[in-house]
Amino acid sequence: MAKPRVFVTRELPGDALKRVGEYYDVVVWDKYQAPSYEKLLEEAKRSDALVTLLTDRVDCNLIESSPRLRIIAQYAVGYDNIDIGCATRHGVYVTNTPGVLTEATADLTWALILAAARRIVEADRFVRSGEWYKTGTGWHPTMMLGIEVNGKTLGIIGMGRIGRAVARRAKGFNMRILYYDVRRLSEDEEKELGAEYAPLERLLAESDIVTIHTPLTPETEGLMNRERIRMMKKGAILVNTARGRIVDLDALVEALKEGHLAAAALDVFPQEPLPPDHPITKLDNVVLTPHIGSATWETRTKMADLVADNLIAFYKGEVPPTLVNKEVVKVRKPGFS
Ligand code: NAP
């Protein structure tokens, strides 16, 4: 039997694809930019498997136009770019890369919390631009004052893998932790993390720093709208390393301009890449990073390894280890036979 064909929409770090090559005929899109939707459609039609990124739109049209397609291995934990319901109906397995990117994303979240609270990026610009030199003084009691993190209240929206990893790190800063999630943790888990459940409105009203860790779903899209941003404490900080469309960016810009919020830090945006003329880029009290939550060599390599594990398990007729649409097994058995 000829090897099944897998189309990989970008080069991946490490040697995971070599491993995949023992079972699949691997075709890699080797350009830096994502393939167009039309190109992806053309490749999907000829493929038995796809390796996708969050920038690849895998809609029902694409799935229905690709009768050979059996598995979509997403190189990310989030899969809001894929029509999961449609994939399941057509017996197409969808896998993701949970867990392996949790710590890296929690680290980035903390880097952003501290950068926003202590004005790190603004301070760096102050030094480089010569503004510090122009002041003629090396140290002043009110130069670049920020917000103390130690002992403050941290509000975590979405207490899953990453939310909990962020909470664990907050212990080192002696923080009070409030969390909101659709599901409450067990009493033991709450105790271990030192976290208290709060309805969203109370979390927003009481937190000095609010950080978002939910997936993007119809329920979370626009969750942080104008009204909820207004519910946040005056002088608070908003951090988003989840998905851009969870926050109303225009409302956030307004709240920052008016001084309702002290600062914000964003790794994700409704449109990526963020156009450089977007009003948010003009604000000094905002830290912006280009969707780099999982961007360490170690994590991106582990993500590729997990993609390979999923593809190889599927090839062998096994249920892939991190299957998203678990009900698909009732529609079709794993494997290509
Ligand atoms: P996770 O373990 O599934 O955690 C998400 C949590 O949010 C779960 O507890 C989930 O509850 C909860 N949730 C779902 N809908 C909600 C709602 N409407 N309101 C409140 N809570 C809700 O996922 P994770 O691994 O922590 O990742 C979280 C998200 O981070 C991913 O989906 C991805 O979009 C984003 N991410 C971004 C980067 C980056 O590069 N910036 C990197 C990694 C991940 P249930 O389990 O009950 O649904």
Ligand 1, atom 25, residue with closest C-alpha: 161
Q: Are 41 and 62 in contact (CB under 8 A)?
A: yes
Cα–Cα distance list, 273 to 32, 196, 254, 296, 318 (Å): 13, 36, 21, 19, 37
Q: Are 319 and 334 in contact (CB under 8 A)?
A: yes
Mutate-to-test residue for ligand 1 from 213, 219, 302, highest number of ligand atoms within 8 A of CB: 213
Query: Which element (helix H / strand E) includes 328?
Result: helix 328-331
Q: Is there a catalytic annotation at residue 140? A: no
Cα–Cα distance list, 62 to 67, 94, 97 (Å): 10, 14, 22
SS3 280: helix
Mutate-to-test residue for ligand 1 from 100, 182, 189, 201, highest number of ligand atoms within 8 A of CB: 182
Closest by Cα among 321, 323, 326, 324 to 309:
321
Q: Is there a catalytic annotation at residue 243? A: yes
- Taking only the tens of pLDDT, the chain with its 337 residues reads 799 999 999 999 999 999 999 999 999 999 999 999 999 999 999 999 999 999 999 999 999 999 999 999 999 999 999 999 999 999 999 999 999 999 999 999 999 999 999 999 999 999 999 999 999 999 999 999 999 999 999 999 999 999 999 999 999 999 999 999 999 999 999 999 999 999 999 999 999 999 999 999 999 999 999 999 999 999 999 999 999 999 999 999 999 999 999 999 999 999 999 999 999 999 999 999 999 999 999 999 999 999 999 999 999 999 999 999 999 999 999 999 8
- Ligand 1: atom nearest CA of 162 is 26
Compute and round to an integer the Cα radius of gyration of the chain. 22
* Rounded CA separation 69/60 (Å): 12
SS3 153: strand
* Rounded CA separation 127/35 (Å): 40
pLDDT at 337: 85
Closest by Cα among 142, 143, 148 to 118:
148
